[in-house]
Amino acid sequence: MKKLISALAAAALFATLLAGCGSGASSSASASSEAASSTASEAASTDASSTEEATASVDLGAIVTAIEAVNEVPNARAIDDFSMENEMNLTPDNIVAFQGDVTNDQADCALVFAAQVKDGTADAVKAELEAYKESMSSTLYADFADKVAKAQDARIVVKGNVVVMVIAGVNGPDYSAIDTAIDGALA
């Protein structure tokens, strides 16, 4: 009986030691995790501030407003993250900031989009916008010849790290006026 009690006491002591060691390892892992999280947060904060600085250097709102002064977007819907990624099929990792409007009117096709892109990604973003333009002019508006023609003539312009896409509205101006507005907005 004494042996059984001694064995149980030893097992209890051993279990307590294991629990204590496990807790220490857990605390150590937790501390490492917190340190890594803190480092990641600091890095994200640094990235965010550099992104804010980069974004501040390009006034995307002014570009969109200047182009929309010529090419009004009827019944405008702001292009959001979901639209940018899932409708326009743009790679979010290439985009620093963006702004734009697309018509919410099924009888129209007007769109104004401006994006500041990361260094070295302007060609990739332009290619993605070309694919979007092609999808719109080949299938999306197949029943509407006027919309297809406007989409086929869409403008995609790159200047430095800024990429702009404009589709004239069905009742909008011709593209020469839009070209002038884009040149002025990007000057």
Same domain, residue pair 104 and 48: no
Place of tokens 């070309």: 130
Predicted pLDDT of residue 135 = 85
- 90 versus 174: the higher-pLDDT residue is 90
The stretch 69-86 carries a mean pLDDT of 95
**Confidence band (pLDDT; 50, 70, 90) for 88?**
very high
171 contacts 56 by C-beta, under 8 angstroms: no
Residue 147 structural domain:
60-185
The stretch 155-167 carries a mean pLDDT of 97
* Distance between CA atoms of residues 182 and 132, nearest Å: 19
Predicted pLDDT of residue 32 = 40
Domain count, the chain: 2
Q: Write the secondary structure of 132-152 as one string of H (helix), E (strand) and C (coil).
A: HHHHHHHHHCCCCHHHHHHHH
Residue finishing a domain among 11, 27, 57: 57
Burial per residue of 143-169, b for 16 or more beta-carbon CB atoms within 10 angstroms, e otherwise? ebeebbebbeebbbbeeebbbbbbbbb
Predicted pLDDT of residue 84 = 96
Same domain, residue pair 85 and 169: yes
Same domain, residue pair 51 and 101: no
Written as six digits, the tokens of 123 are: 């060609």
Same domain, residue pair 71 and 139: yes
Q: Is the pLDDT confidence value at 62 over 80? A: yes
Same domain, residue pair 32 and 76: no
- Name residues whose C-beta falls within 8 Å of residue 105's C-beta, 6 or more positions apart in sequence: 74, 75
Residue finishing a domain among 10, 26, 57: 57
Q: What percent of the chain has pLDDT over 70?
A: 67
Predicted pLDDT of residue 44 = 41
Same domain, residue pair 120 and 169: yes
**Confidence band (pLDDT; 50, 70, 90) for 3?**
low
Same domain, residue pair 83 and 171: yes
Predicted pLDDT of residue 108 = 86
Same domain, residue pair 124 and 50: no
Q: Is the pLDDT confidence value at 61 over 60? A: yes
Q: Is the pLDDT confidence value at 183 over 60? A: yes
Predicted pLDDT of residue 143 = 62
- 26 versus 181: the higher-pLDDT residue is 181
Q: Is the pLDDT confidence value at 33 over 50? A: no
**Confidence band (pLDDT; 50, 70, 90) for 181?**
very high
Predicted pLDDT of residue 10 = 52
Same domain, residue pair 46 and 91: no
Q: Is the pLDDT confidence value at 160 over 60? A: yes
Residue finishing a domain among 57, 74, 98: 57
| DSSP state string for 82-151 | HIIIIIS---GGGEEEEEEEEE--TT---EEEEEEE-TT-HHHHHHHHHHHHHHIIIIITTT-HHHHHHH
